[in-house]
């Protein structure tokens, strides 16, 4: 029961129980660059309990003392989750069979110890991601919240942290809702939890909040552009150090901001030679370190140019999904994913349909893979809802702030398969403009549908995009391939087009011929026909078949799929290749020099 002794039944009648926590929501503006920073990891076993009815917010569980149930004089509904636990990071769905379909709130609790606090430091909690909304409580105080299920967020802990024992509670809520991004209808499983790393940062009071470094080409020579943003309005001098380029350059900082442009001749980053440079930036007592690759990406007519040269993007789509861990991933899982992509002959991947773990772009930098990263503006988002737009734009800005120094990332995707309505057009054109404003060094795209009246690649959003993404499933959802031939013949997009999804379901090992749906032979047939027809359109400058691995999705309940999307080239064991894997690999081998 509530600690509010005036009326022990108050919480039963207050349906505005979440209102007190709307303030204090953090977003992109609160982010801190993590490049090379040390942090106190808070990962490991936390106490945990599910809260289907949001009793935790209704009754203010975070206000409770930690008295054991044996000491209580009046009953409560929460005793710190002491009877259950959950590893952080993890998705609660895969921890216990009875938690598999849970959509609601989960409460995580743990303590951490601070030997002492320093008045020259500021203390910030960093969460790699929480699906979907999180509220943070430290030592019985609400200290902040965040929404958006796949981007990192930073919570100022200073008002509540203390020397000695600190008690941290985190409420994570993963309900599917029409106003969210994504909304309540998706073709992937709705996991929940604190599923990426969690840590406490102790930073100099004045520290480097944001740092960008990218290369451009101007009048034929390469220019490095650096920008620095501090956590406050301090002025002074930052020092940029790139030893291998012989760069040790001061950057003047005025009122918390500074920029520097300088000529440089780095070895250019490319998938075939992914050269990375050690970069450090220092201001006052703060120092960050990163490994950064330098390249340029642009379009010219219907071409995509990497370092000024036309490139054909040989890709594959991937979800963050695993039979054992759900949406929680690991370095090994990412490296396996990328190794399979390399085995296919890929130089590129589409990280669908939401920001993947930050390790993905770092590992792609090392391994030499180009990336399309995107936010989950997926299907029928509430395009007329300003708060939905604010959520989507914040997720986009958090993604760009997080990965802006990753050479592998060349495209920001602002949505997927959305009906071409007026509301969608203004919503997504605004997102595309935001992406261009925040990061003029990369391309902006979206996975569009074809114009079915004209039967052409013609989407009003294309005017805001550098590259037009097209999802098409001729041979699967539209059995006749004639439609694809007609589509390509009718289209004159005038800018590069990427087929960012195509494919067919196939149950691994299902025998049949090219007409047997869900057979491997049929999946092979679809890819063979697709590649032959797509090759006729010169404006198609890349393809990402849907998808590398079979993945969980509740909306597919045939006797063959049983809750899985089987369009993978590899089964959900992430080991068993289907026959179509070799067909795609052969196509890419024949397109190495396109
Ligand atoms: C759509 C959608 C994917 C989905 C796929 C499919 O294009 O973008 O998220 O999984 O088609 O139907 O398998």
Q: Which residue has the tokens 């967020």?
A: 153
Cα distances from 564 to residues 472, 501, 527, 558, 567, in angstroms, run 20, 17, 20, 9, 9
CA-nearest residue, atom 4 of ligand 1: 187
**Residue 203 β-bridge partners:** 122
Q: Calculate the alpha carbon distances from 567 to 517, 539, 544, 545, 592 in Å.
A: 12, 26, 12, 9, 24
- Distances in Å between the Cα of 35 and the Cα atoms of 350, 363, 516 are 24, 14, 51
User: In this structure, are residues 107 and 81 in contact, taking their beta carbons and an 8 Å threshold?
Assistant: yes
Q: Does ligand 1 come within 6 angstroms of the Cβ of 471?
A: yes
Residue 352 Cα: closest atom of ligand 1: 9
Residue 1 has pLDDT above 50, yes or no: no
Q: Summarize the confidence of residues 128-145 as an average pLDDT.
A: 98
Q: Is the CB of 565 under 6 A from ligand 1?
A: yes
Alpha helices in 322-406 (DSSP H): 331-344, 358-367, 386-403
Alpha carbon 365 to chain centroid, angstroms: 16
Residue 588 makes CB contacts below 8 A (sequence gap 6+) with 314, 344, 345, 346
Q: What pTM did the predictor assign?
A: 0.98
Q: Would you state the structure tokens that stand for residue 120, as one six-digit string?
A: 């020259």
Whether residue 187 has its Cβ less than 6 Å from ligand 1: yes
376 Cα–ligand 1 center, Å: 13
Encode pLDDT of 203-225 as tens digits.
999 999 999 999 999 988 999 99
Predicted confidence band of residue 5 (pLDDT cuts 50, 70, 90)? low
> Residues 289-303: what's their mean pLDDT?
98
Residue nearest to atom 12 of ligand 1 (CA): 187
Q: Which of 128, 203, 194 lies closest to 158, judged by CA?
A: 203
pLDDT interval class at 22 (50, 70, 90): confident
Between the CA of 235 and the centroid of ligand 1 the distance, in Å, is 50
pLDDT at 365: 98
Classify each residue of 147-163 as buried b or exposed e, where b means 16 or more C-beta atoms within 10 Å of its C-beta: bbbbbbbbbbbeebbee
Q: Phi then psi for 19, rounded to 5 degrees?
A: -55, -40
Most ligand 1 atoms within 8 A of CB, residue of 182, 183, 187, 472 to mutate: 187
For the chain, what is the mean pLDDT?
97
In angstroms, the CA 430 to CA 111 distance is 43
380-434 pLDDT per residue, tens: 999 999 999 999 999 999 999 999 999 999 999 999 999 999 999 999 999 999 9
Alpha-carbon gap, residue 574 to 549, rounded angstroms: 6
- Angle at 355 (CA atoms; ends 390, 23), nearest 5 degrees: 35
Which stretches of 178-332 are assigned E, i.e. beta strand? 198-204, 208-218, 221-230, 236-242, 247-253, 257-263, 277-283, 286-292, 297-300, 303-306, 309-310, 313-314, 317-318
Instruction: Tell me which residue of 119, 109, 138 sits closest to 24, measured CA to CA.
Output: 138
- C-alpha 431/C-alpha 414 separation (Å) is 6
* ∠ Cα 71 76 82 (to 5°): 70
Q: Is the CB of residue 291 less than 8 Å from the CB of residue 276? A: yes
Give, using CA atoms, the residue closest to atom 10 of ligand 1: 187
The three-point CA angle 470-476-478 to 5° equals 75
| Per-residue model confidence (pLDDT) at position 594 | 65
Helix (H, G, I), strand (E, B) or coil at 171: strand
User: Could you tell me the distance, in angstroms and rounded to a whole number, from the CA of residue 580 to the centre of ligand 1?
Assistant: 18
Pocket-testing residue among 417, 526, 561, ligand 1, by greatest number of atoms within 8 A of Cβ:
417
Is the CB–ligand 1 distance for residue 550 below 6 Å?
no
Could you tell me if the CB of 64 is within 6 A of ligand 1? no
Q: What residues contact residue 110 under an 8 Å CB cut-off, 6+ apart?
A: 42, 44, 46, 47, 167, 168
Strand order in the sheet with 198-204: 40-41, 198-204, 121-127, 153-156
Contact 110, 124 (CB under 8 A): no
- Is any ligand 1 atom within 6 A of the Cβ of residue 546? yes
Residue 153 CA to ligand 1 center (angstroms) comes to: 28
As beta bridge partners, residue 263 has 223
Kindly state if the Cβ of 186 falls inside 6 Å of ligand 1: no
**Which atom of ligand 1 lies closest to the CA of 501?**
7
């Amino acid at each position: 029961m509530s600690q509010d002794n005036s009326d022990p039944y108050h919480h039963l009648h207050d349906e505005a129980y979440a209102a007190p926590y709307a303030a204090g929501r953090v977003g992109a503006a609160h982010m801190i660059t993590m490049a090379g920073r040390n942090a106190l990891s808070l990962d490991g076993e936390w106490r945990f309990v599910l809260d289907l009815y949001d009793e935790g917010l209704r009754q203010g569980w975070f206000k409770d003392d930690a008295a054991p149930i044996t000491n209580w004089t009046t009953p409560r509904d929460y005793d710190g989750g002491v009877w259950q636990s959950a590893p952080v990071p993890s998705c609660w769905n895969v921890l216990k069979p009875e938690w598999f379909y849970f959509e609601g709130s989960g409460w995580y609790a743990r303590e951490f110890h601070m030997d002492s606090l320093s008045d020259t430091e500021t203390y910030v909690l960093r969460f790699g991601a929480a699906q979907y909304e999180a509220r943070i409580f430290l030592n019985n105080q609400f200290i902040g919240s965040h929404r958006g299920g796949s981007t990192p967020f930073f919570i100022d802990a200073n008002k509540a942290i203390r020397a000695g024992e600190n008690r941290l509670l985190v409420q994570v809520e993963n309900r599917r809702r029409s106003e969210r991004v994504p909304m309540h209808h998706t073709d992937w499983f709705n996991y929940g939890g604190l599923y990426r790393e969690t840590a406490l940062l102790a930073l100099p009071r004045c520290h480097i909040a944001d740092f960008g470094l990218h290369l451009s080409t101007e009048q034929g020579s390469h220019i490095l552009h650096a920008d620095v943003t501090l956590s406050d309005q301090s002025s002074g001098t930052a020092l940029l150090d790139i030893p291998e380029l012989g760069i040790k350059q001061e950057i003047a900082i005025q009122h918390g901001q500074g920029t520097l442009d300088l000529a440089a001749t780095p070895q250019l980053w490319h998938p075939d030679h992914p050269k990375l440079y050690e970069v450090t930036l220092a201001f006052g007592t703060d120092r960050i370190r990163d490994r950064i690759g330098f390249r340029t990406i642009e379009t010219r007519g219907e071409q995509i140019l990497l370092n000024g040269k036309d490139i054909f993007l040989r890709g594959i789509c991937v979800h963050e999904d695993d039979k054992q861990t759900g949406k929680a991933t690991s370095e090994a899982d990412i490296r396996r994913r990328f190794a399979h992509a390399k085995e296919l002959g890929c130089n590129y991947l589409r990280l669908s349909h939401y920001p993947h773990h930050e390790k993905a772009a770092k590992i792609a930098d090392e391994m030499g893979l180009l990336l399309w990263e995107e936010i989950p503006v997926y299907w029928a988002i509430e395009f007329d809802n300003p708060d939905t737009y604010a959520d989507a734009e914040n997720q986009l800005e958090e993604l760009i702030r997080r990965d802006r120094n990753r050479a592998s990332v060349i495209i920001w995707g602002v949505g997927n398969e959305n009906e071409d309505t007026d509301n969608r057009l203004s919503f997504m054109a605004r997102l595309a403009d935001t992406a261009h404003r925040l990061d003029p060094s990369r391309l902006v795209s979206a996975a569009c549908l074809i114009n079915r009246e004209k039967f052409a690649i013609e989407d009003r959003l294309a005017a805001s995009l550098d590259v037009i993404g097209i999802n098409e499933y001729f041979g699967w959802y539209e059995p006749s391939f004639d439609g694809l031939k007609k589509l390509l013949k009718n289209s004159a997009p005038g800018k590069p087009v990427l087929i960012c999804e195509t494919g067919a379901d196939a149950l691994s090992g299902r025998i049949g011929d090219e007409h047997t749906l869900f057979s491997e032979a049929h999946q092979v047939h679809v890819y063979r026909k697709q590649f032959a027809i797509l090759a006729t359109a010169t404006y198609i400058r890349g393809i990402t078949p849907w998808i590398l691995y079979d993945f969980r999705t509740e909306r597919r309940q045939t006797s063959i799929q049983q809750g899985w999307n089987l369009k993978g080239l590899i089964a959900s064991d992430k080991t068993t290749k289907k026959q179509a894997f070799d067909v795609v690999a052969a196509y890419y081998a024949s397109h190495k020099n396109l």
